[in-house]
Amino acid sequence: MKLMLTEKQIRVLRYFRDYRRAKGIAPTLDEAAQALGVSKITIHEHLNQLTRKGAIHRDRAKARAVAILHDPDASDDGVATRGAPTLPLLGMIAAGRPIEALEDRQDLGLDELVPTGERIYLLRVRGKSMIEDHIDDGDLVVVERCETANDGDTVVAILDGEQATLKRFYRERNGSIRLQPANSSLAPVFTSRVQIRGVVRGVIRRFR
């Protein structure tokens, strides 16, 4: 099973794994903190997260009782691997009325936010035809490569003459296809011939 670990958690896990392999026992928190150049509290917090994620098992009644349940450098088939990059999700914030700020940290793998794989690719958006769907000029759309779509999907469509466009896809009763912009100032495109090159699965926006 793939575990979503941060780079710092992987570093701690590797240290405990290597120490145990070399000496047959786990290091103390003080030893780990000194070796990794962090505080004892930091090591304690990382071990709590590793326990929660199922990477280790701890007997809190004993100083050196840390069992390694997951090797961060080996997958189920023995191939070396590294954990996916993660970012800390610290809680929720209201975009309307103010709320009390509460921190409830968990680590969220980037591959949980953005799908990956051989069928996934990115396109940079030019123009504002999809602005009412919150897809703006300069955004990156995450596209799954496919040749079919459901009504309402946002698709990468190729029209006659190899003109590519990003629009919502609808089948009309008369058999034609409607490519609907998400911009009330623009008219839809009706066509009987269109190639679907992919369906949008996400949007990435960078703020400068």
Could you report the per-residue pLDDT of 151-187, keeping only the tens digit for each? Answer: 999 999 998 766 789 999 999 999 999 999 999 999 9
> In the predicted model, is pLDDT for residue 83 greater than 60?
no
pLDDT at res. 79: 39
Closest CA to 191 of 152, 143, 157: 157
Residue 63 predicted with pLDDT over 50: yes
pLDDT of residue 181: 95
Q: CA–CA distance from 111 to each of 87, 106, 125, 134 (Å)?
A: 11, 15, 22, 21
pLDDT digits over 12-45, tens only? 999 998 888 878 788 999 999 999 999 999 999 9
Please indicate whether residue 198 or residue 94 has the higher confidence score (pLDDT): 198
Confidence of residue 54 (pLDDT cuts 50, 70, 90): confident
In the predicted structure, residue 80 carries a pLDDT above the cut 60: no
In the block, residue with structure tokens 């080996």: 74
Beta carbons of 81 and 75 less than 8 angstroms apart: yes
- Find the helix packing angle between 29-36 and 40-52, rounded to 10°: 110
Average pLDDT over residues 77-90: 51
pLDDT confidence bin for 77, thresholds 50/70/90 = very low
Domains of the chain with bracketed CATH: 1-112 (1.10.10.10), 120-204 (2.10.109.10)
Q: How much is the pLDDT for 90?
A: 57
User: Mind listing the pLDDT tens digit for each residue in 99-140?
Assistant: 555 455 566 666 667 777 778 888 999 999 999 999 999 999
Catalytic residues: 129, 167
User: Which positions ≥6 away from 32 have C-beta within 8 Å?
Assistant: 12, 15, 16, 19, 43
Task: State the pLDDT at residue 72.
Answer: 80
Mean pLDDT of the chain: 82
Q: How far is it, in rounded angstroms, from Cα 208 to Cα 206?
A: 6
pLDDT band at 87 (very low <50, low <70, confident <90, very high): low
Task: Give the C-alpha separation, 8 to 13, whole Å.
Answer: 9
